[in-house]
Structure 1
Amino acid sequence: MTLFKKVLSVVLLSSVMSQAYAVLGLDRTRVIFNEADGGTSIVVENQDTASSFLAQTWIENQKGEKLTNSLVALPFLQKIGPKQKKQIKIAYMDGQNTLPTDRESLLYFNVLGIPPQGKEANAVQFTIQSRLKLFYRPKGIDY
């Protein structure tokens, strides 16, 4: 293929591609959960002006396994309207705590942004997942 054909195909492809951008924004880049506080909150904002999105949240350990016995992100799933902000609470699950008490633990807080169904028949949609570091600090250590 000649250079002209390559350049022409790149120009044509770039002219028909739509823009993609992350619509759900978070108010921080990492989360610190102090056991003494009993919980913390994160704000999720829908930056789109026309569409509502679903936000699914969960917490994982370092191996990528969902936590089922320590901390929980509430609500698990919520609808966020255009230009709307919602708060997500991270708290203990039913008063249980199986995390180490002699050191900090590194966990991950995940938010999956689920877009609305498109009106176009042949459209490709992507979900965007944000993954933030979540540091758990127990009461028994000095920091």
Structure 2
Amino acid sequence: MLPTLPPLRCLMKNIWRDAMGVLLVLAFAWARPSAAGVVIDGTRVIYHAQDKEATIKLTNAGKRPILVQTWMNQVNDTSSPGASKVPFTLTPPIFRLEPGKGQAIRAQYTREPLPTDKETLFWLNVLEVPPKMKADDRSVLQFSVRTRIKFIFRPSNLPGSPGSAFEQLSWTLAATEDGRGVVLKASNPTRYYVNFAQVGIKAGNRSYMHPGGGMVAPGATEAFAIPDFDARSVDGVKATFETISDLGAIGKHEKPINP
């Protein structure tokens, strides 16, 4: 018996779909993406209350001049430049940066009241806009790239040390709201933010990691979901975490989980 052939319309549809797929692959292979060019010196900014200003250095590591705009906003604020009210000014807020050149940004505290008994976190945003394409650059994909890093205001005479704040964290396990999973909770009794590159659980020879890093604010508790871990079947588990220092150094730590 001869095999049944699909209708002609289906054949044409499949051919058109496959042809479009090939064309898309070729288009992206031909187009050269315009990579991000601005490099920020450091992974975070620590602004000490007694300082007159903090300096952030930017470098254009690309091959073309770019327009750079900088602004700050609060932790849960996603507003556009100029819309967020923060007690800091950035100078210059917008500038042209030539390839291979650097630019220092000055951040100054305008002295509006901020908490004096704990750190306060802001975001520093850096937006780079590539130059307008020339007529012969139609094969170049261009993007405006925004990078943001933590900007921490640190009051004077806080008790303890930011470098050892992780030692005072307490860790507990709890069920997720739907009861189908487990979260690892970190409670921070200190006056400092503790930043994590990784958070997870070590049980025997196995590790169960939270997908991504995170942080826990002063005096707060943060929950980190731990996929695939069943707390009912394992005893003696430990919290395993990697902290990020003021200078961006990674420290690996383990600590027993409280009952």
With normalisation by structure 1, the TM-score equals 0.83
Bigger CA radius of gyration: 2
Q: Pick from 43, 58, 61 the counterpart of residue 29 of structure 1.
A: 43
Q: Which runs of 5+ in 1 are unaligned?
A: none
Mapped to 1, the partners of 2:141 and 2:29 lie a distance apart of 17
Deviations 1:89-137 (A, max 9, x none): 11112xx222211110110001111111111386753211111011110
Match of 1:103 in 2: 118
Matched residue type, 1:98:
P
2:66 maps to 1:53: yes
Tell me the SS of whatever aligns to 2:32: coil
Mapped to 2, the partners of 1:7 and 1:113 lie a distance apart of 32
Matched residue type, 1:119:
K
Tell me the SS of whatever aligns to 1:119: coil
2:143 maps to 1:114: no
Higher relative contact order (CA 8 A, sep 6+): 1
With normalisation by structure 2, the TM-score equals 0.48
Contact residue 53 and residue 108 of structure 2 kept, 8 A? yes
Mapped to 2, the partners of 1:29 and 1:114 lie a distance apart of 21
Mapped to 2, the partners of 1:100 and 1:45 lie a distance apart of 33
Matched residue type, 1:74:
T
Q: Mean Cα displacement is larger for which, 101-110 or 30-39? A: 30-39
Mapped to 1, the partners of 2:133 and 2:43 lie a distance apart of 30
- Number of residues paired by the alignment? 140
Contact residue 72 and residue 86 of structure 2 kept, 8 A? no
Q: Which runs of 5+ in 2 are unaligned?
A: 1-13, 162-259
| C-alpha distance 109-69 of structure 1, shift in aligned 2 (>3 A) | closer
Contact residue 69 and residue 98 of structure 1 kept, 8 A? no
Mapped to 1, the partners of 2:23 and 2:43 lie a distance apart of 38
